[in-house]
A and B are shown apart, each in its own frame.
Chain A
Amino acid sequence: MQRPNKPGSPRFQKKQFFSRKKYCSFCKERIKFIDYKNASVLDKYILETGKILPARVTGTCNYHQKQLGKAIKRARHMALVKFIEPKRG
């Protein structure tokens, strides 16, 4: 807990107070590659507008984030996941 604070970094302070440590949920379940047909899993990593969430938000590792991107794009082609829509109103 007692790490030296980097001076002048407000984000670092917020982390101390609110966030739990993020982890890659695919690594936890020992998934080797992500299937594009499993739309219910992909939906967790997509905003309402259809944008792919960045790894720094979800905590997925580099290997799985790359695969997620590909899987989501394949799922979009097969109409399992929607494309990016502009916000209405």
Chain B
Amino acid sequence: MSREYEVGLIINPEASEEEVEKIKKSVTDILEKGKGTIDNIDEWGRKKLAYPIEKHNEGIYIFIKTFSPGNVLASVERRLKLSEKVMRFIILRLDDKLKKTNRLEKRWKRAEKMTKKTDIDEKTESKPERRTTSKPAGEIISKPESRTVSKPEIKPEIKKESKPETKTEKSSEIIKEENNAETE
């Protein structure tokens, strides 16, 4: 079973160009011997590290993409562990992540459909007019409800808005008291 892998290397900045190429060749040779193919070699050259490794602030970055059987990469790992000039390395399998994206694609398709529908609604002018006619009636009903619900929440945070409210409440209380007095 061969799969797609990626090998990343950080090589000591004190290493000469020959040594860097030696390391690169050693990796590629192992891969090719194990019936693997080398798809791409990405060389970034010297780059500043986010934090010092082995008291070096720079490193030489190389990334190699391959399509090869997994047991070959185990031998690559063994080689990289032994070599002193390689400060860090990483080996990743790439292809298995692509299998799990079916759900994402479905979700994106659904989202596209939704956006298309909304576009159609905007294009046809007759529909929104009906909505606007129907809306205000709903708004009139819902507005007083929302006010009564929302205002007591704001009370502790904002004092200014609460003041008129308290007045209204007081007035309502007074009215209630009056009513009570009348009833009594």
Contacts and interface: CB of A to CB of B under 8 A. Distances in A.
Interface residues of B, number: 28
Interface in A1-53: 2, 4-5, 7-10, 13, 27, 30, 32-33, 37
A2 B146 CA distance: 8
B51 A5 contact: no
A55 interface: no
For the residues of A in contact with B, the DSSP-based class is: loop
Given A32-B98, A78-B8, A13 B90 contact: no
B50 interface: yes
Given A79-B49, A79-B50, A79-B53, A8 B104 contact: no
A4 B146 contact: yes
A68 interface: no
Interface string B47-85: 001110100000101010000000000000000000000
B104 A63 contact: yes
A67 to B, nearest CB: 8
Given A78-B88, A78-B90, A80-B50, A5 B8 contact: no
A10 B155 CA distance: 11
Contacts of B88: 77-79
A77 B50 contact: no
Contacts of B139: 2
Nearest to A50: B50
Nearest to B94: A33
B153 interface: yes
Contacts of B53: 79
Interface of B: 8, 10, 49-51, 53, 59, 61, 63, 88, 90, 92, 97-98, 101, 103-104, 107-108, 139, 142, 146, 149-150, 152-154, 157
23 contacts: A2-B142, A2-B146, A4-B146, A5-B150, A5-B153, A10-B157, A13-B157, A27-B104, A27-B107, A30-B108, A32-B98, A32-B104, A33-B101, A63-B104, A67-B97, A74-B90, A78-B61, A78-B88, A79-B50, A79-B51, A79-B53, A80-B50, A82-B51
